[in-house]
Amino acid sequence: MLTKYGTDNIIVMLLVGAILVALPYFITNRIVGAISIALGVLLIVFTFVFFRDPDRIIPDIAKEDQSVLLSPADGKVVEIVNEIENEYIKDSVTRVSIFLSPLNVHVNRSPASGVVKFLKYKKGEFLPAYVPKSSELNEQSKIGVENEYGKVFFKQITGMVARRIVYDIKEGDTLNSGDKFGMMKFSSRMDVSFSPNTKLDIKVGDKVVGGETVIGKLVK
């Protein structure tokens, strides 16, 4: 299944791919024709890989317990740091940063159940998403959710290749853990911040799956 968040890109990319595959029927140079077909097939395959939206099995514990935090994205945990978050939580937090390669699923899911209390889009730079400073400087969406166990703050962050962020939520919406809410187009990064008292179940270097991997449990 392909994601609805990429419909515009999917149409364009598949159309371009089809044109490249068909181009050799209108030219006589066999080498150019072979290259055109190869590029067209690669573009079509990449489109289906990048914009895939596989079903995910949300853990029962996350459905039953609002203290459970799920990974909001597929990828690799590249940072776990303690810092001060000044926009939404406005206190000391633990931040988990997840790097997504172009081959990861890029559909994003809510890490927690709760009400969207904060939503802001920030224009910025396009540093490589694995660079720590990208968390502060790159273009990003900022989303804050609150439930009975506290506040959770998460960001969709563009990378050097990723230039577009998509989300379909607004302040006041209610999210359940694992709900799809948007995507980042091409390689990118997601940060999740929460109380430093949270019991973590992941470490730097771990591979995580959006909507399935439990990253921790909030403590009141």
Q: Which of 158, 151, 160 is nearest to 192 (CA)?
A: 151
Percentages helix, strand, coil for the chain, rounded to the nearest 5? 25, 40, 40
Cα 167 to Cα 157: distance, rounded to the nearest angstrom: 12
User: 188 an active-site residue?
Assistant: yes
> What phi-psi label fits residue 2: left (phi over 0), alpha (psi between -120 and 50 degrees) or beta?
beta
Interaxial angle between packed helices 30-50 and 7-22, expressed in degrees from 0 to 180 and rounded to the nearest 10:
160
Which of 110, 187, 188, 195 does the annotation list as catalytic? 188
Cα 141 to Cα 69: distance, rounded to the nearest angstrom: 19
Q: What are the catalytic residues?
A: 188
